[in-house]
Structure 1
Amino acid sequence: MLLFVFWSLWILDVATASITVYGQIPMGVTSALSATATVAAAYNTTVLNPPEVPDPGPATSFTLSIPSANTSVTKLSIPIKGTFYGFSVEMSVITQLFGKNSSYVQVPLLNLLANIQERAGAVHVRIGGNTQEYAYYVPTLDEGRAISKEKADTQNPTETPAVIYTMDLFYLLSNISSFVNVKWYIGKFELFSIRVPFNDTSDFRLQIVEYSEAVLGDNLLGVQVGKSLIYIHSHRNSSYNPQAYADEFGELIAALAADSNVPVKNNLIGPSVSGTWTPEMVWDTGFISEYTTNLGALSVEHYPTDNCFPIYGIGSYHDPQTEFSDFLNHTSGIALCEPYLNSTAIAQAAGKPFLMFETNSASCGGFPGISDSFGGALWALDYGLQMAYSNFSGAMLHVGGQNVFYNPFTAPPTNVSKYYEWTVGAVYYSALISAEVFGKTNTSQIVDLLGNDANIYTPQYAVYENGALARVALFNYITDPSGASDYTATITVSGGNAPASVQVKYFLSDSVSTKTNITWAGQTLGTIHEVDGRFKGTLDVVTIACNTGANTCLVPVPAPAFALVFLAAAPDITTATFSTSTYTNAAGTATVPASVLATSNGMLGMDETLWSTSAGSTENAAHGQLSVDFGLVFRVVAVLLVLLSGH
């Protein structure tokens, strides 16, 4: 009998070691564990009511006459890369999302980035945020960690702690780039943006520039050194003005010029204004002409609104239900881009890319029921396409910790990472689909068609690739289960011929309010705690026959939905993925060969506390847990029993 127990336990241990445990709750786990994983904003279940069907509603049948060549388009964007939408990751949550150090890389992250790489050719990621403002280098940290944190800054309303980093941070980023073609921006954020720690002009602490250039090499896109309204957080006084900023920027350039460990001198990014300063206030100082040889790009940061009052008591309360309708029409993206049209023109004249270096649905973490909804994803996609049409060269969707609503992706808290997988926010699909809209050629140009009498609920765009009409993007913001608000867009090709057929990928859900049952071309990544970065379900690309004699293609668009129409065959997408059956402790862990790196499911450390310091995410996200290797316990007990039995 004892031998039977021994072998049973041994078999159980071996079996446990060989299976993927993400999303599987073992016997004996209580509901209390589930509760600990769902209280954070990233797992919020608030579902709002969709707006009423507009009355009168838009026409449900209309024609889009689109020129076959870009030479016949009167207003067309600059060439846009498939990497247009990237991610801005708060520095304090790097070890949650990226990995504990360069030896432990988060596999679900690799899969999520690989999805976009396959469509865009690469992925652009910026690390920074409030937590980089006082970041500084140390040779080593306990437990081999790449970053840690100091006591919070009490002068900052969000009590942002400083990040302490080691050289291994840059090896971690470099190792990620060795798996997936990720290009990096090193930067910081929020209403006062200091990108290279800009807080001490007597000591610029240039290690972060030196090491990122040395380790990342060509994978480093640029270093953000902008600022805006630092005095709000008592880092500058209220007399600090754009000219003072421009002068300080010059001091930094001089320091970099004198540093032989910084070989690249022309990849600085600024000014990243985001408060009451306008970009023009900085341009008027002669900033661009004075520092043009050092500037790799010009940048701003902007959120359409804020949700700071519930957490910090700052500003006014915004009711998410009331705010929801403001995100569900084409006017939103147009209004957000309009203040920057002059600056994008100035950037073009100067030969500089113009970047929206940080954005999302609302500062201080976004809104429950908006930021994480299908409607929020439609808004982010439309906003991204409108920025591209307005001649932005790229935009970064911000990523915080457990306590924000707008995350494109969130790692599970460490204490439940053996049982729960990652969570993907709806706006991740916005970035993914944007990559398909623009593709890999880096020649795509986009135009806002303003069809259907420029109705705000049914916007459309055309995309030209290598000068020829390649794709048409169609939105329907209305939620109407009756089907009465579904529409059919008739596409005609002026100056050319309609193809024999088109292929259509649909971005679908039941309502703009939903957080689940969201699909892109029939596939989904999963819902809360069930995402490993790989798509689930069967790919569904709809082929629609066209009438070549009438030169028309009729494309139906449900309410709500987004449809991407390919005038040629949609490209095949075969994304390389990575194993996801590992987690931080050694019990039952499948490993990847050393040559491919070991993997981890979260950060156990950071002084045993994981914090996010993006506005709206300062709550304690997860505590380090003592890990017990139950497989080892079973084996030891079984062996002892066998020995005691005399067998």
Structure 2
Amino acid sequence: MKKIILVILAAFGLTSCSKSNINPQISPSQPANGIPVSVTINQNQPGYVIPVTFQGFSFEVGILPKLPSFLNANNTVLIQLIKNLGSGILRIGGNSSDKTSLTNTNIDTFSAFAKATGWQVIFGLNLGSYSPDVAATEASYLSNSLGSSLYVLQNGNEPDLFYNNGIRNPSYSYSDYQAEWNNYFSAIRKLLPQAPFAGPDVSNNTKWISSFSANESANVKLIDGHYYNSGPGTNPAITYQTLLAPNTRLSAYLKALNTASSQAHLPYRISECNSIYGGGKVGVSNVFASALWALDYMWQVAENNGSGVNFHGGNSGSYSPIALDNNVITARPEYYAMLAFKYGTTSGTIVPATISQTNSNCSAYACTNASTTYLTLINKDAADLSFTVQLSNAASKIQIARLTAPTITSTTGTTFAGTSVNADGTYQTGQTENYTVSQKTFIVNVPAGSAAVVTVN
């Protein structure tokens, strides 16, 4: 397997806590070294503003009673890893949400954890057992326990698959779900007149999303659905190469979500997502390639006006960005993609990044924040690429940091800006490179199977 060369990434806005080169070099700092690719950035055409809470994690409800020490205020390492990403949203749901009963202690323990992170919460109620009164009582207690940390409630998880997993009979349809959802909504609103809701939290059924957003736009504050690149993990045809291949299904799904969201005048969010459904696939979901996929995926959602994503995982599952490996909280490669996205967006406004015609498997994204432009270049190809970046405004300097993994199939050894997260969960960017420029064009070499995020001032 070809060794991965250091990935180029930028430590945006963190110069004061970076180890920078003392003597800035004159750019173009890198002679072209790879297949040429041209990228044009239109800095004067602002689009969607990326929300500060764009990133998120999704956890199973079942973790709360089964592993109370995980989502716990005493789990300071996990809390710190979450805080490293800035603001975000936690989601509690998953398949176990329609099969699990919670105690007040379970809820209070999680509430203390959520408050310690500073993140808001999407919480899934048990629709599978269908008891509106029980759900209303739980929702009331949740609201009191979480307080301002409660973002929205959800009624059920992937109801479009209820017919397929034994929760409802084979004839269960959207109209059946709509009736059940309305009964839950009414029961909860009797106890909590201002209770916030989201829905329909389907697996991927865009018809249900369209119907729900049209029918319930006055009663919810968020439209949501799930996305997995492929699955199940037992499929031998799934490899890290197929994970990184272009996926037209995602484009169509995001277009449908964006349309429903726009028509309902509501934001949409991918409330549960990851690489391979069913817990992921070893050798695909837990390797460095998953970081490239995740970074590309987040940008695609952002470019389609999504308000955010919640990567599913937790204490187990090969796709989990943060996992409990041998009783040690571990940041896996996908987590480093989330760090890269954080430092490469900073609540920026998306601007067009156009790649010239190329046969290479690569992506380019850009956003601006005040006078700074952030450019993300992702090379999913097997060959090194040399990006010539054409700006619409002249630049004075660029800053580059590096992300590395021994190989594209490495499960360990990932670093960002010269460092990995510490044992206590803390993270600080390490070495960066700085170059002065006085032109609108510069070159960034991006080795095979790597990404580059560049800060331009």
Smaller-chain TM-score bracket: 0.7 to 0.9
Q: Tell me, in whole angstroms, the C-alpha distance in 2 between the residues paired with 1:166 and 1:351.
A: 36
* Alignment-mate amino acid for residue 96 of structure 2: T
Change in 2 beyond 3 A, CA 1:560/1:92: same
- 8 Å Cα contact 2:400/2:434 also seen in 1: yes
Change in 2 beyond 3 A, CA 1:473/1:349: same
Q: C-alpha displacement at 1:461, in angstroms?
A: 0.7
1:464-483 matches, within 5 Å, as: 464-465=368-369, 470-479=373-382
* Cα deviations by residue, 1:334-366 (Å, 9 ceiling, x for unpaired): 531323303312212322111111111111111
Change in 2 beyond 3 A, CA 1:456/1:247: farther
What does residue 236 of structure 2 align with? 318
Change in 2 beyond 3 A, CA 1:134/1:400: same
Alignment partner of 1:79 is 2:11: no
What is the SS of the residue equivalent to 2:366? strand
Change in 2 beyond 3 A, CA 1:289/1:368: closer
Alignment partner of 1:166 is 2:103: yes
Q: C-alpha displacement at 1:263, in angstroms?
A: 3.9
Q: Tell me, in whole angstroms, the C-alpha distance in 1 between the residues paired with 2:188 and 2:221.
A: 14
Q: Tell me, in whole angstroms, the C-alpha distance in 2 between the residues paired with 1:233 and 1:348.
A: 32
What does residue 115 of structure 1 align with? 84
Tell me the TM-score normalised to structure 1 length.
Answer: 0.61
- 8 Å Cα contact 1:67/1:469 also seen in 2: no
Q: Tell me, in whole angstroms, the C-alpha distance in 2 between the residues paired with 1:369 and 1:541.
A: 30
Q: Tell me, in whole angstroms, the C-alpha distance in 1 between the residues paired with 2:68 and 2:455.
A: 34
- 8 Å Cα contact 1:280/1:343 also seen in 2: no
Change in 2 beyond 3 A, CA 1:134/1:542: same
Q: Tell me, in whole angstroms, the C-alpha distance in 2 between the residues paired with 1:406 and 1:556.
A: 29
- 8 Å Cα contact 2:34/2:386 also seen in 1: no
Tell me the TM-score normalised to structure 2 length.
Answer: 0.85
What is the SS of the residue equivalent to 1:358? strand
* Alignment-mate amino acid for residue 256 of structure 1: I
What is the SS of the residue equivalent to 2:378? strand
- 8 Å Cα contact 1:86/1:395 also seen in 2: yes
- 8 Å Cα contact 1:521/1:541 also seen in 2: yes
* Alignment-mate amino acid for residue 115 of structure 1: N
Q: 2:232 aligns with which of 307, 314, 318?
A: 307
- 8 Å Cα contact 2:37/2:358 also seen in 1: no
What is the SS of the residue equivalent to 2:145? helix
Q: C-alpha displacement at 1:473, in angstroms?
A: 0.3
* Cα deviations by residue, 1:434-461 (Å, 9 ceiling, x for unpaired): 222221xx4x233563414254522111
Q: 1:533 aligns with which of 416, 422, 425?
A: 425
Q: C-alpha displacement at 1:507, in angstroms?
A: 2.4
What does residue 146 of structure 1 align with? none
What does residue 391 of structure 1 align with? 305
What does residue 486 of structure 1 align with? 384
Q: C-alpha displacement at 1:203, in angstroms?
A: 4.1
Q: C-alpha displacement at 1:367, in angstroms?
A: 1.0
Q: C-alpha displacement at 1:534, in angstroms?
A: 2.6
1:502-521 matches, within 5 Å, as: 502-521=398-417
* Cα deviations by residue, 1:295-342 (Å, 9 ceiling, x for unpaired): 111111121222354xxxxxxx3244xx2211224x13x531323303
What does residue 567 of structure 1 align with? 456
* Alignment-mate amino acid for residue 252 of structure 1: Y
Greater RCO between the two (CA within 8 Å, min separation 6)?
Answer: 2
What is the SS of the residue equivalent to 1:566? strand
* Cα deviations by residue, 1:497-556 (Å, 9 ceiling, x for unpaired): 22x210123322233112222111111137xxxx431348x701221232x1x4222222
Q: C-alpha displacement at 1:469, in angstroms?
A: 5.8
Q: Tell me, in whole angstroms, the C-alpha distance in 1 between the residues paired with 2:42 and 2:71.
A: 51
Q: C-alpha displacement at 1:369, in angstroms?
A: 0.8
Alignment partner of 1:129 is 2:21: no
What is the SS of the residue equivalent to 2:224? strand
Q: C-alpha displacement at 1:68, in angstroms?
A: 2.5
Alignment partner of 1:210 is 2:179: no
Structure with max Cα Rg: 1
- 8 Å Cα contact 1:82/1:435 also seen in 2: no
Where in structure 1 are there 5+ consecutive unaligned residues? 1-48, 52-57, 137-164, 188-194, 310-316, 480-484, 569-647
What does residue 185 of structure 1 align with? 122
1:441-452 matches, within 5 Å, as: 442=347, 444-447=348-351, 449-452=353-356
What does residue 394 of structure 2 align with? 497
Change in 2 beyond 3 A, CA 1:566/1:97: farther
- 8 Å Cα contact 1:389/1:447 also seen in 2: no
What does residue 607 of structure 1 align with? none
Where in structure 2 are there 5+ consecutive unaligned residues? 4-32
Alignment partner of 1:298 is 2:189: no
What does residue 279 of structure 2 align with? 365
- 8 Å Cα contact 2:42/2:352 also seen in 1: no
- 8 Å Cα contact 1:370/1:513 also seen in 2: yes
Q: Aligned residue pairs: how many? A: 427
1:54-73 matches, within 5 Å, as: 60-71=35-46
- 8 Å Cα contact 2:288/2:411 also seen in 1: yes
What is the SS of the residue equivalent to 2:188? helix
Q: Tell me, in whole angstroms, the C-alpha distance in 2 between the residues paired with 1:243 and 1:448.
A: 41
Q: Tell me, in whole angstroms, the C-alpha distance in 1 between the residues paired with 2:200 and 2:132.
A: 20
Q: C-alpha displacement at 1:100, in angstroms?
A: 6.6
* Alignment-mate amino acid for residue 323 of structure 2: T
- 8 Å Cα contact 1:462/1:473 also seen in 2: yes
Backbone CA RMSD of aligned residues: 2.7
- Quick check: which one's strand share is greater? 2
Q: C-alpha displacement at 1:59, in angstroms?
A: 6.4
* Alignment-mate amino acid for residue 376 of structure 1: S
What is the SS of the residue equivalent to 1:337? helix
What does residue 320 of structure 2 align with? 407
What does residue 557 of structure 1 align with? 446
Q: Tell me, in whole angstroms, the C-alpha distance in 2 between the residues paired with 1:454 and 1:478.
A: 11
